[in-house]
Every structure is written in structure tokens, then in C-alpha cells.
Amino acid sequence: MAEPLIRMTNIRKSYGRVQALVDANFHVNEKEIVGLLGDNGAGKSTLIKVLSGAVPLTSGDIFVRGKKVNFRSTSDAIAEGIETIYQDSALVTQLSIARNLFLGREPIKAPRFLNRMDQEAMNAVARDLLRQVGITKNIPPTTPIGSLSGGERQAVAIARAMHFDSDLIILDEPTNNLGVAETQGVLSFVRSARDSGHSCIFIAHNIHHVFQVVDRIVVMRRGKVVADDIDPKKTTVAEVERVITGMSDKEIRDAIADGRESHG
């Protein structure tokens, strides 16, 4: 079996006496969209913060393509190809699409000592990236981010991660507070990222959105991964909700097996 893109083993994270993660095991394969589900307090956010370098783990190991890594900051995770897109997308509304795509990593015109940004190069790349993520409207790259819809802003954030060769794009509630049409657009952008060779972790409270886009579902509860191999094509929303809300390990295995048989 091929080595996963990301593998986390026996991950523990404690805040004093509170154990946010308890021996959590998690992996993401190459070119795979993984849906991460669980009720509030299940440990999803903490797991992602550990993987993105935002918080240090207490114990356990993280591997990127089989290489053990130690993330002390988000910069360490970004250097290993892991980019996290939060609900606010960390975009600057007053700046253009092109400037936001290159924020902090702007190309410089020659001679470099003059420190002049290469706006033409940024605009050209921005136009290409917008097409890649499926924005078919003719939106000029000089358009301020603040004038875009919520779905279009998510698309820009995804495009930025794709351009800077992020192997794994983590999407935290990307469809939150979006309308139906915008939600479908974001789901399409996520598929485009996978089809371009990127892996994604998709975190959402709306389980129906997860079923529409992911290849595999992972469920967490009370800091543990209780199911990590749920095929959305071979199960139902109701069956996954039962896993989320609290079944025994045996009941989880039986429910997943029953779902596969009934959908096989």
C-alpha cells in the first residue's frame, strides 16, 4: 500500500487536565478529499490546528510522505505543503484579487533592489488561477476582494493555496453562511483542486455538503477518531449521523458494514 500524503499517529493534545485529543490516528492519501466530521468539542479543530502547526502536539507523530516532521509554527507546515483556509480566508478586502493571491510573496521586477512589485505578472497568474478553480465570469484581477461574493472569496483562497504548490489544502467550514448557488460553486472549486493534484480536508457541520464532495469520511468524538474509512457512496447521511452522535465501536463497525452491503 502506498504511503499516505499525511499520516498522524497516536496524537495527544492536552490543555492542563483537559485532553482535547486522545491517541488520534488520521491520514490523507494523495489526491483525496477527506471529510472530517464530529459534534462540537469532538476534536476536529484541535486536530487541524496540530496538523497546520498552529498548536504543538503533546505527544504522537506526524509524517509527510513517510518523513517524520515536527511543526513548531504554521510556517513549518506551509513549508511542507500544508495550507489552511479558515472561514474568513485571511484575505484583505481592500486589496485586489491579484495582490491577495500573492500576499507576502509578491514577485519583484528587475532590478530587484528597487523593490517594485511585478503587477503585470501577478495579474496574468491571477487570470489563469481563476479559470483553474472554475470562475468563468470575466472578473478582472484588479477587482478588490471586498466586492466579491463569499463563494468567490473562498475560490481566491483555494486558488492561492493551489498556486503555491500546497499538497494539502485544509478547508475549515468553507460553505458556512453561503447561499445554495455559492455553496455549489465552492464544492466545485474543491473538486477542481483535487483534479489538479491536491489533497483536501473538508470540515463542515452540514453533512450533506460533505457527502457531495468527499472521497472518504472520518468521524471524531471526544478527542478520538472513531471511524476513518466511511465511503459516502456506500452509506447514508443517517448512518453517518448515528456514528457522530455516539455508538459503541462494535455498533460503528456494524453500521458501516451494513451500509456497504446495502449499497453494494
Strand partners, 37: 219
Q: What is the dihedral of CA 264, 224, 39, 215, to 10 degrees?
A: -40
- Give the domains, in start order, of the chain with CATH numbers: 6-215 (3.40.50.300), 233-264 (no CATH)
| 11 and 69 Cβ atoms separated by less than 8 Å | no
Dist. CA 13–CA 19, nearest whole Å: 6
| 119 and 98 Cβ atoms separated by less than 8 Å | yes
The residue among 85, 88, 43 whose CA lies nearest residue 202 is: 85
Give the model's confidence band at 10: pLDDT under 50 very low, under 70 low, under 90 confident, else very high: very high
Q: Which three cell numbers stand for residue 174?
A: 468553507
Dist. CA 136–CA 157, nearest whole Å: 16
Give the model's confidence band at 159: pLDDT under 50 very low, under 70 low, under 90 confident, else very high: confident
The pLDDT of residue 127:
86
What would the pLDDT profile of 189-226 be if each residue is shown by its tens digit? Answer: 889 889 989 999 999 888 999 999 999 999 999 999 99
DSSP, res 233: G
- Please give the average per-residue pLDDT across 113-124, as a whole number: 76
Q: What is the mean pLDDT of the chain?
A: 86
The pLDDT of residue 13:
97
Across 31-40, 207-216, 252-261, least confident range: 252-261
Phi and psi for 73 in degrees, rounded to 5?
-160, 170
Query: What's the pTM?
Result: 0.81
Q: Which three cell numbers stand for residue 17?
A: 487536565
